[in-house]
Amino acid sequence: MDKEPSILFGVDDSVFARQAIAATASLLKDNRNLKITVFYGAPPLELSMLSGAVHVTGKVIENYQKLWSLEQAKVLERAKEVLLESGFDPQRVSTIYEEQCHNPSGSMYKLATFEDFETLALTRGGTAIAPREMIGSTTYRLAHLTDDRVLWVVDPRFLSQNVLVTLVGADISHRVTEYTVRYFSHLQESRFTLLHVIPPVPPQVYESSYWVYTSKEKDKGSLEEMDLWMEDYIREVERIANQGKESLIRAGVPERNVLIKLQSQQQGIARDILTELEKGKNGILIAGRKGFKDIKQFGLGSKANKLLHTAKAFSICLVN
């Protein structure tokens, strides 16, 4: 893929968002091909109480609206300043401001579609976090929309630039490794771990229209067939992992900094990934949005959905 790396980063007026911008700049400033556009959708101004007050004229309301607009525009400028102060090249930074923005996630998705941004990014939370979600409400909605884009959810508390890349034996893993090379191979002092958690049953089984695997059907023939399926599956994962490793090395990452790790499932695939993140001191997780199974409700695969809603203190990049 020859597409130029591009990120549309949505911010709000929270300190958390500015911290996320700073962390992102620190991570990506040495990728000379990458451009960032910072987006801020200013919320609608609520004038119902003000317009009902005594002695408030139309001129007063008009002046108040102007002051409100100026203050909202400063939110975007502060975010851009943080990005530049963190060392990002000003020639690779632009901004987009939208007034009276009722739906920031919808606005970001439309911009990404019309202006062809490959990646959408924002923080895990900000000024308004829905109580029922562990991520911010805008992030939650955007996760529903971006099945044709890459979604990057940044937690500025990540302390490491080591990268954990999760693989499965499916086409999505080729896109995951390719994306890793284009966006992160400039981190040549970081460690890249290409991880696959081996499930107890090969994923092809779940896709099979004639296989129903129950404890009563463990006859010799079915077990032999499943063993063959598993061998083919692991062989495909190893092939993808080795191709990814070679691509990273060609991009300049030292061979000693690229590891391939295949391990059997212990607690569950998502939980095992989280364990590896913490144990390996990884700050960046790159995963496919969907593998063999998907959850249509979320536009995400089951593992990606669990990781997005459970994990904290690292940045997750979900590749479409």
Average pLDDT over residues 298-305: 55
pLDDT of the residue at 248: 97
**pLDDT over 90 (residue 4):** no
- Label residue 283 left, alpha or beta by phi (over 0 means left) and psi (-120 to 50 means alpha): alpha
Identical topology for domains 1-157 and 158-320: yes
Tens of pLDDT, residues 121-138: 988 765 444 333 445 577
Q: Mean pLDDT of all residues in the chain?
A: 81
Q: Out of 3.40.50.620, 3.80.30.20, 3.30.465.10, 1.10.3720.10, which CATH number does the structure's domain 1-157 have? A: 3.40.50.620
Tens of pLDDT, residues 246-269: 999 999 999 999 999 999 988 888
Tell me the CATH number for domain 158-320. 3.40.50.620
Tens of pLDDT, residues 204-226: 555 554 445 454 455 555 667 77
For residue 49, CA distances in Å to 43, 52, 131, 272 come to 16, 5, 27, 52
pLDDT of the residue at 89: 93
pLDDT of the residue at 111: 93
The answer to whether 283 touches 158, Cβ cutoff 8 Å, is yes
Domain ranges (residues) in the chain: 1-157, 158-320
